[in-house]
Amino acid sequence: MKVRLNHMSANPGALQVMMKLEGFIKTSGLNANLYELIKIRASQINGCAYCMAMHTRDSRKMGETEQRIYLLSAWREAPVYTDKERAVLELTEAVTRISEQGVPQELYESVRAHVDEAEFVTIIMAINTINAWNRIAISTGMFPEKE
């Protein structure tokens, strides 16, 4: 496999914008482990192997269990996630696949039962950011290195 282009050197300004989004989320107070779950789930849906490899590795470094990482694609059937995580994972799927059915009111209310308005917006920004990273990685041909 060969990377099509190095997006970081091809357009450093675009990378700076993405890093500002990451910086916003990292300083927002959003739980870092929850953010990694968002990143992994969106990357699974989008088929971004590069991002899945990166964020499963990062998640393990942060203390996430192998079981929770392995079961993420089947989170609805796995009792290892909190109610808040489940609501956020459902929102992650809806926003990632937004053209299919949008974000239903019931889902909005389910998430809002666990977060205030500010955190809801931060979660939306987190989901949008990983979706943007997925699209950059897939479009430029990035792939994970063999370990």
88-134 per-position pLDDT tens digit: 999 999 999 999 999 999 999 999 999 999 999 999 999 999 999 99
Per-residue pLDDT reduced to its tens digit, 5-55: 787 788 889 999 999 999 999 999 999 999 999 999 999 999 999 999 999
Q: Is the pLDDT of residue 1 over 80?
A: no
Distance CA 7, CA 21 (A): 17
Question: What pLDDT is attached to residue 7?
Answer: 79
pTM recorded for the entire structure: 0.94
Domain 17-140, CATH number (from 3.40.50.300, 1.20.1290.10, 1.20.1050.140, 2.40.30.260): 1.20.1290.10
